[in-house]
Amino acid sequence: MSESFLLGNYERYALQVESGEGCYVFDPHGNRYLDMISGIGVNAFGYCHPRITAVLLEQARRCVHTSNLVSHGNQEKLAEKLCRVSGLERAFFCNSGTEAMEAALKAVRARSAPGKSRLVALRGSFHGRTMGALALTGQPELRRNFVFPGAEVTYVEPDDLSALAAAIGEDTAAVVLEPVLGEGGIIPLEDEFLQAARRLTRAVNAYLISDEVQCGLGRTGKYFAYQWAGIDPDIVAVAKPLAAGLPLGATLFTEDAAQWLPPHSHGTTFGGGPLACRVAVEFLDMVGEVLPAITELSELFLARLEALRHKHPVIRQIRSKGLMYGIQLSVPGRPIVEAALGRGLFINCTQETVLRLLPPYIVEEPEMDEAVRILDDALTTAQPPEA
């Protein structure tokens, strides 16, 4: 298929997806692939889950779009659910993770007084591709060429408590972090680090923003990953699985943080439409039902991956939190991803040497066995020589 009319910004894998069911996708020839990356953490209930399909069709027959000139009821229901499970007080809806971060940053910017506008972020973090979110992203190669000069961000190594303490001062407007760095290679932050971030931001009247776009909404075994550390951020961003594949992001605010985005200060045409919000209400109900099982599922999968580590010396480390797994290799990961794909397993590679698995919450033991068997095979045959 010709890609000559597409912008050349993606380097795609050799798979064309025609349809999906449960944990599997199918190409146009009917070949089946076990999907353990879930559309990068979006398809948390796999493909074509009957409950999702039913509400999608039902709402599509009523109305798909209204704009934010009027209310349609589903936003209010979803906002209430998100506030109840997060402990925050106000929700704004948009279309993506990066937009959820933009709303967070706009609130911080509106609040920042002269001499109090510095942001603190983590090295290796990822917050999105729009200009504001990109200015924060702790990966210089992604920022290069794009960030306007003058963005005031101090980067701190994940879990470096003394660097965090040194970076936060009276000039800090906000600290922004992913409790589990996703694109950065699945790096779960220590509870102690998250608690210190909360304590230190409070001491200087700065906001704490939790970017839960990848690690939130059940993926780690709690609704939000910050809940493992028992902290309460001022602003939380979510997106990816929220509407089970329809584009939907949300920024959650405390009442105090919400006051910085009053009428006319922010908005979107599509964000929080009736279709996406209806599906998201169903999604959150479904998360509530599976949440108690996620930690056990996570351990079952981890035990199998650990067995692989003992067999393959190129696996340096396996990092995980809930159903997020990063297999740190000593060699480039892409050839292994491609070898796995050729054998019917779809995962991806981040930071060049980390195999990333974000299985759907509906994964069961036979699928875990299949994934590990194919990975084992791919690691055995596709292993480039040790760097």
Secondary structure (DSSP) of 297-326: HHHHHHHHHHHHHHH-TTEEEEEEETTEEE
Distance in Å, CB of 182 to ligand PLP, minimum: 4
Q: Which CB, 97 or 245, lies closer to ligand PLP?
A: 97
Q: Which CB, 128 or 138, lies closer to ligand PLP?
A: 128
Are 74 and 217 spatial neighbours (Cβ–Cβ below 8 Å)?
no
149 to 117, 123, 146, 173: CA distances (angstroms): 15, 19, 9, 18
Distance in Å, CB of 8 to ligand PLP, minimum: 18
Minimal CA–CA distance to 268: which of 52, 93, 134, 31? Answer: 93
Minimal CA–CA distance to 315: which of 231, 73, 304? Answer: 304
Q: Which residues pair with residue 253 across a beta bridge?
A: 90, 235
Secondary structure (DSSP) of 34-83: EESSHHHHT-TT-BS-HHHHHHHHHHHHH-S---TTS--SHHHHHHHHHH
Q: Which CB, 43 or 214, lies closer to ligand PLP?
A: 214
Q: How far apart are CA 372 and CA 317, in angstroms?
A: 16
Q: Which CB, 78 or 339, lies closer to ligand PLP?
A: 78
Residue with nearest beta carbon to ligand PLP: 97
Distance in Å, CB of 276 to ligand PLP, minimum: 13
Distance in Å, CB of 13 to ligand PLP, minimum: 17
Residue 91 phi/psi, 5-degree rounding, is: -125, 140
Q: Which CB, 226 or 315, lies closer to ligand PLP?
A: 226
- Kindly state the helix (H) or strand (E) to which residue 249 belongs, with its residue range: strand 249-253
Distance in Å, CB of 42 to ligand PLP, minimum: 9
Q: How far apart are CA 260 and CA 305, in angstroms?
A: 46
Q: Which CB, 131 or 204, lies closer to ligand PLP?
A: 131
List residues near ligand PLP by CB under 6 A.
Answer: 96-98, 101, 126-128, 178, 182-183, 211, 213-214, 239
Distance in Å, CB of 364 to ligand PLP, minimum: 26
- Kindly state the helix (H) or strand (E) to which residue 252 belongs, with its residue range: strand 249-253
Q: Which CB, 41 or 221, lies closer to ligand PLP?
A: 41
Q: Which CB, 34 or 239, lies closer to ligand PLP?
A: 239
Are 215 and 321 spatial neighbours (Cβ–Cβ below 8 Å)?
yes
Distance in Å, CB of 36 to ligand PLP, minimum: 17
Are 94 and 78 spatial neighbours (Cβ–Cβ below 8 Å)?
no
Distance in Å, CB of 237 to ligand PLP, minimum: 7
Q: Which CB, 126 or 253, lies closer to ligand PLP?
A: 126
Q: Which residues pair with residue 320 across a beta bridge?
A: 325
The end-to-end CA distance of the chain, in Å, is 35
Distance in Å, CB of 194 to ligand PLP, minimum: 15
